[in-house]
Amino acid sequence: MKIIDPLTNPTAHGGNASDAFHLVIPSMPGYGYSGKPTTTGWDVAHIARAWVVLMKRLGYTKFVAQGGDWGAVIVDQMGLDAPPELFGIHTNMPGIFPNDIDKAAFSGAPAPSGLSADEKVAYERLQFVYQKGIAYGFQMGLRPHTLYGIADSPVGLAAYFLDHDARSYELISRVFEGKSEGLTRDDILDNITIAWLTNTALSGARLYWENWGKLGYFNAKGVSIPVAVSVFPDELYPAPRSWAEQAYPKLIHYNKLDKGGHFAAWEQPKLFSEEVRAGFRSLRKSLLGEDGGRAEREAA
């Protein structure tokens, strides 16, 4: 919600009219206001295909996609599928780790020799995520319905949601300590309340089960369409440019930000919106002309 106005009305937020977007913001099946899947099979690949069908049904013959967290895995899959209507993706949790590096981090092995300083930091952070940071992911990936005990408990959901990962917990807890930067108390409580009132804790957890052992989360997947990458310092790992260029041979934007974490669109909407505009600007010009498509819009 925080990025809707900056992206649709950029002149009110320091941008240019030519940077405006139409936005389609679906919630994933089983989450929030979406319906709960009644059959199995709603994995990342299925959702990625569904988003393309959705956009085509809405009449869009050219579009781009953006994602973070699960959305980042989905836009990677969309980029891998490369439907002709999709001209590029932007991600703030890029899948960039070479498969052997990803597997080594998962196993807990020491950092391989020959890594650059940036690559070593990314490796160590990913290793921490795998070894100590995503126990919740393993729980949901193996036994999602075992969480039924907290599904109707606001306190239980709060405890589970707040402890997402170590860095996100630090960014969240500072607000409850009276600091003003980042997410507010209402941001956190609203998010928990939506899951509670819609009873989607378990239906959302099932995505981990559906995707277990399939596409992967943080590994390079072979995306060949244009990709824009924004690196927020408190993301689960800071993606090195070297691995981003390998993972995305058509990398059109790469930028490291000074602040922001895993939930960047939520926590740092101004910086995030600026990154989305910048990330797609070159693509917009090549597709619609230097005026950002003014002639096309006027003709329509």
- The reply to whether 169 belongs to the active site is no
Residue with tokens 């909407």, as numbered in its chain:
269
- Per the CB < 8 A criterion, the answer to whether 188 and 195 are in contact is no
Q: Residue 195 pLDDT > 60, yes or no?
A: yes
Least confident of 120-124, 152-156, 296-300: 296-300
The DSSP bridge partners found for residue 89 are 65, 227
CA angle at 91 for the pair 85 and 96, rounded to the nearest 5°: 110
Q: What is the pLDDT of residues 87-129, one digit of tens each?
A: 999 999 999 999 999 999 999 999 999 999 999 999 999 999 8
The residue-averaged pLDDT of 180-198 equals 88
Domains of the chain: 4-97+217-299 (3.40.50.1820)
Q: CA 264: distance to chain centroid?
A: 9
* Other CB atoms within 10 A of residue 166 CB: 14
- The reply to whether 31 belongs to the active site is no
pLDDT value of residue 290: 52
Choose the catalytic residue: 31, 208, 217, 254. Answer: 208
- The reply to whether 253 belongs to the active site is no
The token pair that represents 93 in the structure block? 């949790």
pLDDT value of residue 294: 42
Q: Which string of DSSP letters, residue by residue, matches 152-187? A: T-HHHHHHHHHTS-HHHHHHHHHHHTT--SS--HHH
Model confidence band, residue 293 (pLDDT cutoffs 50, 70, 90): very low
Choose the catalytic residue: 19, 43, 69, 102. Answer: 69
pLDDT value of residue 296: 35
Most confident range (mean pLDDT) of 141-150, 169-178, 265-274 is: 265-274
3-state helix, strand, coil in the chain (%, to 5): 55, 10, 40
Q: In 217-290, where does DSSP find H-type helix?
A: 241-247, 264-267, 269-288
Q: CA 150: distance to chain centroid?
A: 25
The token pair that represents 144 in the structure block? 């999602």
Sign of the Cα torsion 39, 45, 51, 52 reads: negative
Rounded to whole angstroms, the Cα distance separating 33 from 27 reads: 7
Across the chain, what does the average pLDDT equal?
Answer: 90
The residue-averaged pLDDT of 136-152 equals 87
